[in-house]
């Protein structure tokens, strides 16, 4: 059984206004050219907390690479409206997409064979310093330590562990 709490449904009924980044970017054609940095530019212009939301998006990018969530298309990123204004929604549709090993959104100019320097290069487009990018990467690595051991399927567990180790080694 999977229990899901909807973040767009209000406690007293009704829904919060929500808009996808595909709509915000009017990106219906050349989606392969869109990067996480492009999403950060939208956050800088629209978000009620651009710095906080950019950090949240950066961490989600790192997590997507770590867990091989290659289904990171623009309809899986949204903004929600509340009394403070527009904010980046919580992450959703996070699923390892094995055996595919290529992100849909560009990171560091590419889609595949990503290393920590690619994450840092993309973070620089967010406006973060290299040390800040490294700190945020470390926060994600710390919070995901050992989680792959919970995966019962051996091949998936092994691929996720290898990806994590690869990012850790390239991060040094």
Do residues 52 and 79 make contact, with C-beta atoms less than 8 angstroms apart? no
Biggest CA-to-CA distance, the chain: 48
- Which domain does 145 fall in, by range? 18-171
Q: Quick check: is 44 in a domain?
A: yes
- pLDDT by position in tens, the chain (length 172): 566 778 888 888 888 899 999 998 886 666 668 999 999 999 999 999 999 999 999 999 999 999 888 889 899 999 999 889 999 999 998 888 777 778 889 899 888 888 899 999 999 999 999 999 999 999 999 998 888 778 888 888 888 888 888 888 776 5
Contact criterion met (CB below 8 Å) for 161 and 150: no
Distance CA 20, CA 68 (A): 22
Distances (CA, A) of 102 to 67, 68, 73, 112: 12, 8, 12, 5
Question: Is residue 5 in a domain?
Answer: no
Judge whether 98 and 107 are in contact, CB under 8 Å: no
Which CATH number is 140's domain given? 1.10.1070.20
Beta strands in 13-101 (DSSP E): 18-20, 78-82, 85-88
Residue 13: inside a domain: no
* Domain total in the chain: 1
pTM of the model: 0.90
Give domain status of residue 68, yes or no: yes
């Amino acid at each position: 059984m999977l229990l899901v709490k909807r973040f767009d449904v209000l406690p007293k009924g009704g829904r919060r206004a929500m808009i996808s980044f595909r709509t915000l970017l009017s990106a219906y054609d050349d989606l392969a050219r869109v990067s996480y940095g492009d999403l950060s530019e939208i956050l800088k212009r629209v978000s009620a907390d651009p710095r906080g939301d950019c950090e949240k998006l950066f961490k989600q990018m790192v997590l997507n690479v770590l867990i091989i969530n290659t289904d990171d298309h623009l309809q899986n990123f949204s903004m929600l409206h509340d009394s403070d204004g527009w904010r980046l929604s919580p992450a959703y549709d996070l699923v390892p997409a094995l055996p595919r090993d290529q992100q849909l959104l560009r990171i560091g100019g590419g889609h595949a064979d990503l290393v920590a320097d690619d994450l840092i290069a993309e973070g620089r487009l967010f406006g973060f310093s290299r040390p800040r990018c490294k700190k945020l990467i470390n926060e994600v690595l710390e919070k995901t330590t050992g989680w792959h051991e919970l995966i019962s399927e051996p091949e998936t567990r092994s691929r996720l562990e290898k990806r994590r180790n690869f990012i850790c080694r390239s991060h040094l």
